[in-house]
């Protein structure tokens, strides 16, 4: 029998009410903060998480928690991509206002008790019920048109711009991407109507809360377009026609790799 190494801290009764979901919404959100924990700051981080959390807290610095309710908890966990002192804080599934609450407080935690560099990222999940269909192709094209896919510079090998499949990404590099374990693209589809935005991050990303919130709001608006009747959106139609022409003028192998990316769903339970 496997014994969990995860520590659970139960939600305190007097927790700040702002961390609760405060209004019904078809949209669900969550986010993940990667950072390096400063030496001897574990207790301070846990104390602050207890202060702000509206849910149970799961802590495991050796592996990813496997508890069935982990997506309903605030988690401090091991991050395999960052090395020994690298950790990640992930929020429970929550509403928009609760997400903003956590972004502000967890950014403060990192500023006080940790550090970030070019390898650390900030990831946002946006989803609705699976009975609502999204047009992922439309979402990608709209994000690209709004300059959101490379707005934080050349992040790193874990956050590649998918539009580069049709441009400078060579066949050899594309195979390396395909064979690599872990998340690869700056935006990935995690369910029928669930996307993970991985464009943000880098050195001192936690000090750019205003920029994060501003871009989050744009991503949400574009997500709304992608779950509506995109064929009636004149702005999108113009973007689609322009990109369709690019596809027709691009070699078959690159076009296939791009279409494979658009059609792929990488489920959330594979994290």
| pLDDT tens for each residue of 161-219 | 888 888 765 555 544 555 554 557 899 999 999 999 999 999 999 999 999 999 999 99
Question: What pLDDT was estimated at residue 89?
Answer: 98
Distance separating alpha carbons of residues 271 and 269, to the nearest angstrom: 6
13 belongs to a structural domain: no
The answer, as to whether pTM is greater than 0.75, is yes
125 CB-side CA count, 13 A: 23
263 belongs to a structural domain: yes
Instruction: Indicate the DSSP class of residue 94.
Output: B
- Residue 246: phi, psi to the nearest 5? -60, -45
1 belongs to a structural domain: no
Average pLDDT over residues 236-261: 93
- Three-class secondary structure of residue 236 per DSSP: helix
Distance separating alpha carbons of residues 166 and 243, to the nearest angstrom: 10
Domain count, the chain: 1
Over the chain, what is the mean pLDDT? 87
Domain with 116, as residue range(s), is: 24-270
Distance separating alpha carbons of residues 137 and 127, to the nearest angstrom: 16
Question: What pLDDT was estimated at residue 271?
Answer: 35
Share of residues in the chain with pLDDT > 70 (%): 85
101 belongs to a structural domain: yes
- Three-class secondary structure of residue 164 per DSSP: helix
212 belongs to a structural domain: yes
The more confident residue out of 82 and 49 is: 49
Distance separating alpha carbons of residues 111 and 91, to the nearest angstrom: 18
9 belongs to a structural domain: no
Question: What pLDDT was estimated at residue 241?
Answer: 95
Strands (E), 70-120: 74-78, 86-90, 114-115
**Which residue reads 């982990």 in tokens?**
70
Question: What pLDDT was estimated at residue 1?
Answer: 37
Average pLDDT over residues 112-139: 94
H/E segment holding residue 198: strand 194-201
19 belongs to a structural domain: no
Asked if residue 127 lies in contact with residue 227, where contact means CB atoms within 8 angstroms, the answer is no
205 belongs to a structural domain: yes
């Amino acid at each position: 029998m496997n014994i969990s190494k995860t520590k659970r801290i139960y939600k305190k009764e007097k927790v700040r009410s702002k961390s609760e979901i405060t209004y019904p919404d078809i949209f669900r959100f969550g986010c993940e903060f990667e950072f390096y924990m400063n030496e001897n700051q574990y207790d301070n981080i846990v104390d602050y998480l207890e202060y702000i959390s509206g849910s149970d807290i799961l802590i495991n610095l050796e592996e990813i928690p496997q508890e069935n309710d982990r997506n309903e908890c605030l988690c401090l966990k091991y991050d395999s991509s960052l090395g020994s002192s690298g950790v990640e804080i992930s929020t429970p599934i929550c509403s928009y206002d609760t997400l903003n609450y956590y972004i502000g407080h967890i950014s403060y935690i990192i500023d006080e008790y940790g550090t970030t560099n070019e390898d650390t990222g900030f990831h946002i999940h946006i989803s609705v019920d699976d009975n609502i269909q999204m047009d992922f192709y439309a979402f990608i094209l709209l994000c690209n048109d709004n300059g959101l896919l490379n707005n934080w510079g050349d992040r790193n090998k874990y956050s590649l711009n998918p539009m580069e499949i049709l441009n400078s990404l060579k066949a050899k590099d594309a195979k390396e991407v395909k064979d690599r374990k872990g998340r690869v693209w700056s935006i990935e589809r995690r369910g029928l109507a669930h996307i993970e935005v991985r464009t943000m991050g880098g050195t001192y990303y936690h000090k750019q809360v205003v920029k994060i919130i501003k871009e989050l709001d744009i991503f949400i608006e574009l997500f709304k377009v992608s779950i509506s009747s995109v064929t009636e959106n004149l702005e999108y139609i113009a973007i689609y026609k322009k990109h369709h022409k690019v596809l027709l003028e691009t070699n078959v192998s690159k076009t296939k790799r791009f279409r494979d990316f658009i059609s792929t769903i990488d489920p959330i339970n594979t994290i």
